[in-house]
């Protein structure tokens, strides 16, 4: 079904045309003065210059054509030429009923679904997830879910970092500690053990130790570089160790991503793109796209219109070694071959914008990817502490993500136990869902590109623009519906219409519900989960105002009571759909 604002625009545009004005002036927007009207049209102001007529006269002419239109409760022209619009309660109720009975609340899915690859997460193997991984994970997950809801074929890829010096460092350090392992015996030709020779805890200790040690001991670093080279050239024992590192790391990563309600369709790795590099380099050379600069192979990506310096995209170092650029370009080639995508979106720290600008330009200029493929850099800002600096532990270290989740859920648990008499087990289950909502909503309610302050006290509050407040609203509606069932004995409401609103708070709630389609459309078009957050906060506020001003179950008019139950059921369903798009779940009670 069409968005309500488009239906209003359709009527306004017809009136402009009937008055012999161009249809482009029939623009309608939400009112910036909701105390005066619900929608407004400023087209008469713009038309005045072209038609050399006072804007108020144009507005009066248009309004005269619409005075008897049943869509409008009130439509008036006000100085200097605004058209203020209020829609009728009957029309609004009719639209809400169509939403309630329609699939996806009347939201029209994409007519021509596209294939979209979303690259998010990006952790390195053998390293724990820390707070710096939070934003990529939760933003990418939400963008994926919104894109799917719109109707597109979406592929989420974690894109693991698994192919570089870190592997050589781990292998070299492991050899130093356990030289007797068969992986280091080049003459060994049997089956390697299925069990890894280390746990995730040991692995996470080995890498930082080896990395720090290599900075003080050049001979160790040289040995690690050689181990990396041998791994990348297929030394069997090292490949077996590498597979152990991957398996142990991915198992742990999945466990932690599961806690965040984040999942991936693909667990592709940097190493998966390596096989595409030789042919890609050959293509760039033979096609005349690449040139030698100080021994390195580069592709010029600067445009004449650039106002800032854009360095060439380096493909190979002077010693023939590959770089991140090389791997990322090869990954684009791989994705084009495997999925033939219409778009690839990268959810990455905004400080990498220049780097991705180079990679994207190189891919387009050299025709590694089709001109029709949209490459998008969705850069996110920093998660900071109250001091305005990147979020740290109390001792100044980088906090592990699982510790952050634990701290938040513990804070929520304490609040629940201090206010309610429920079992510890139920409180913990509730705290897990509310804690994740606090973290994810706290992040997603901010525009992705902006830095934000991670405030545990504010994010875990059950009041204000927070995840717990949204969940509490949903739980409140569930409680009303359960009580209605107890009082009436009715499990499912018979098909009945939502009646026209009888009070301002009911009208306001209905109007918020009608914005669902606009919200989803904008959130997808802009890769902006914060739009969904703003919507459900406004919708929750509208519901709570309606709830506080009206006795829903105690209403003596059965038709009104049933209508209100239908209305809040729709509200609950839309809120649940929206939090699912954010990767959040609501408990049954709080």
Per the prediction, the chain carries an average pLDDT of 95
Q: Is the pLDDT of residue 450 over 90?
A: yes
Residue, of 488 and 98, whose pLDDT is higher: 98
The model's confidence at residue 213, banded by pLDDT at 50, 70 and 90, is very high
Residue 589: beta bridge partners?
A: none
Region 530-550 average pLDDT: 98
Q: Give the closest residue to 561 by CA, choosing from 504, 483, 474.
A: 483
Q: Which residue has the tokens 């590109």?
A: 449
Q: What is the pLDDT of residue 122?
A: 92
Q: For the chain, report the end-to-end CA distance as a whole number of angstroms.
A: 35
3-state secondary structure 375-389: EEEEEECCEECCCCC
pLDDT-derived band at 590 (thresholds 50, 70, 90) equals: confident
Query: Quick one: CA dihedral 488, 493, 495, 500, positive or negative?
Result: positive
In the predicted model, what is the mean pLDDT of residues 392-415?
A: 87
- For residue 165, give every residue at least 6 positions away whose Cβ sits within 8 Å of its Cβ, in sequence order, or none: 224, 225, 228
| Residue the block writes with tokens 């038309």 | 47
Asked if 153 and 116 touch (Cβ cutoff 8 Å), the reply is yes
Domains of the chain are: 4-87 (3.30.1360.70), 165-255 (no CATH), 270-339+350-380 (no CATH), 433-581 (1.10.730.10)
Mean pLDDT of 525-552: 98
Strand 115-119 and strand 153-157: the pairing is parallel
**286-290 average pLDDT score:** 97
In angstroms, rounded to a whole number, what is the distance separating the alpha carbons of residues 56 and 76?
10
Q: What is the mean pLDDT of residues 166-172?
A: 96
Find where tokens 């280390």 sit: 198
Residue given tokens 């210059």 in the structure block: 49
Mean pLDDT of 89-114: 96
Question: Could you give phi then psi for residue 122, rounded to 5 degrees?
Answer: 55, 35
- pTM greater than 0.85: yes
Residue 273 has pLDDT above 60, yes or no: yes
- Model pLDDT, residue 495: 57
What confidence tier does 493 reach under pLDDT thresholds 50, 70, 90?
low
Instruction: Give pLDDT, residue 168.
Output: 96
> Would you say residue 494 has pLDDT above 60?
no
Tell me which residue of 371, 292, 369, 288 sits closest to 328, measured CA to CA: 369
Q: Is the pLDDT of residue 413 over 70?
A: yes
pLDDT confidence of residue 421: 79
| Token pair recorded at residue 249 | 């790391």
Q: Where are the beta strands (DSSP E) in 103-215?
A: 115-119, 153-157
pLDDT at 393: 73
Return the pLDDT at 489: 81
pLDDT at 386: 87
Q: Which pLDDT value is given to residue 465?
A: 97
Report the 10 Å Cβ neighbour count for 293. 13
CA 2/CA 290 separation, integer angstroms: 50
Closest CA to 584 of 471, 477, 476: 471
DSSP calls for 236-299: HHHHHHHHHHHHHHHHHHHHHHHHTT---SB--BGGGGGGGHHHHHHHHHHTT--EEETTEEEE
How far is it, in rounded angstroms, from Cα 196 to Cα 330? 30
Is pLDDT above 90 for 389? no
pLDDT category at 135 given cuts 50, 70, 90 is very high
Confidence band, pLDDT 50/70/90 cuts, at residue 480: very high
Cα torsion 106, 110, 113, 114 to 10°: value is -130
pLDDT at 120 over 80: yes
**pLDDT at residue 492, rounded to an integer:** 58
Residues 67-77, mean pLDDT to the nearest whole number:
96
- Is the confidence at residue 397, as pLDDT, over 80? no
The whole-number pLDDT of residue 123 equals 94
> Rounded to an integer, what distance in angstroms lies between the CA atom of residue 343 and that of residue 340?
9
Residue 244 pLDDT > 80, yes or no?
yes
Between β-strands 374-380 and 72-78, what pairing exists: parallel, antiparallel or unpaired?
Answer: unpaired
180: which residues sit within 8 A by CB, 6+ positions away? none
- 191-208 pLDDT, tens digit each: 999 999 999 999 999 999
**Average pLDDT estimate for 280-291:** 97
Work out the angle between the directed axes of helices 558-581 and 504-514 (0-180°, nearest 10).
40
Q: Could you tell me whether strands 115-119 and 291-293 are parallel, antiparallel, or unpaired per DSSP bridges?
A: unpaired
């Amino acid at each position: 079904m069409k968005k309500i604002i488009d239906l209003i625009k359709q009527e306004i545009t017809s009136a402009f045309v009937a008055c012999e004005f161009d249809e482009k002036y029939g623009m309608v927007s939400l009112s910036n003065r909701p105390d005066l009207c619900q929608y407004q049209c400023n087209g008469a102001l713009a038309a005045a210059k072209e038609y050399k007529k006072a804007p108020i006269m144009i507005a009066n002419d248009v309004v005269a054509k619409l005075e008897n239109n049943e869509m409008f409760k009130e439509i008036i022209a006000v100085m200097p030429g605004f058209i203020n619009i209020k829609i009728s309660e009957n029309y609004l109720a009719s639209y809400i009923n169509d939403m309630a009975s329609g699939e996806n609340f009347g939201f029209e899915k994409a007519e021509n679904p596209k294939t979209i690859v979303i690259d998010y997460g990006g952790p390195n193997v053998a390293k724990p997830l820390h707070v710096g991984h939070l934003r990529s994970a939760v933003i990418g997950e939400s963008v994926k879910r919104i894109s799917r809801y719109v109707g597109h074929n979406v592929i989420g890829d974690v894109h693991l970092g698994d192919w570089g010096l870190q592997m050589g460092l781990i292998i070299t350090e492991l050899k130093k500690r356990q030289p007797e392992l068969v992986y280091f015996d080049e003459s060994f030709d049997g089956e390697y053990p299925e069990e890894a020779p280390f746990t995730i805890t040991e692995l996470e200790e080995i890498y930082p130790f080896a990395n720090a040690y290599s900075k003080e001991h050049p001979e160790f670093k040289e040995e690690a570089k050689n181990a990396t080279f041998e791994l990348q050239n297929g030394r069997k024992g090292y490949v077996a160790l590498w597979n152990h590192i991957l398996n142990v790391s991915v198992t742990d990563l999945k466990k932690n991503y599961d806690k965040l309600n984040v999942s991936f369709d693909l667990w592709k790795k940097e190493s998966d793109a390596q096989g595409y590099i030789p042919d890609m380099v050959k293509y760039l050379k033979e096609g005349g796209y690449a040139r030698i600069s100080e021994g390195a192979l580069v592709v010029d990506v600067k445009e004449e219109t650039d106002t800032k310096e854009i360095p060439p995209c380096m493909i190979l170092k002077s010693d023939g070694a590959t770089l991140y650029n090389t791997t990322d370009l090869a990954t684009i080639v791989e994705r084009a071959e495997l999925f033939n995508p219409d778009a690839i979106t990268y959810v990455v720290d905004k400080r990498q914008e220049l780097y991705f600008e180079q990679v994207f330009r190189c891919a387009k200029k050299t025709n590694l990817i089709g001109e029709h493929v949209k490459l998008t850099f969705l850069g996110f800002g920093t998660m900071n502490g109250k001091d305005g600096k990147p979020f740290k532990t109390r001792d100044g270290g980088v906090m592990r993500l699982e510790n952050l989740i634990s701290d938040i859920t513990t804070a929520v648990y304490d609040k629940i136990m201090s206010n309610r008499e429920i079992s510890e087990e139920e409180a913990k289950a509730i705290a897990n869902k509310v804690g994740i909502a606090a973290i994810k909503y706290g992040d997603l309610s901010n525009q992705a590109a902006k830095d934000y302050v991670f405030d545990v006290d504010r994010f875990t509050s059950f009041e204000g623009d927070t995840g717990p407040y949204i969940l509490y609203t949903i739980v409140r509606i569930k409680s009303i519906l359960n009580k209605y069932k107890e009082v009436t004995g009715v499990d499912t409401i018979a098909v009945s219409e939502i009646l026209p609103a009888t009070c301002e708070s009911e009208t306001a709630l209905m109007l918020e519900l009608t914005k669902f389609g606009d919200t989803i459309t904008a959130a997808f078009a802009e890769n902006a989960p914060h739009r969904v957050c703003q919507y459900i906060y406004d919708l929750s506020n509208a519901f709570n105002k309606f709830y506080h001003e009206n006795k829903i179950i105690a209403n003596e008019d059965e038709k009104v009571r049933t209508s209100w139950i239908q209305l809040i059921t729709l509200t609950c369903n839309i809120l649940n759909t929206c939090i699912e798009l954010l990767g959040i779940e609501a408990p049954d009670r709080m």
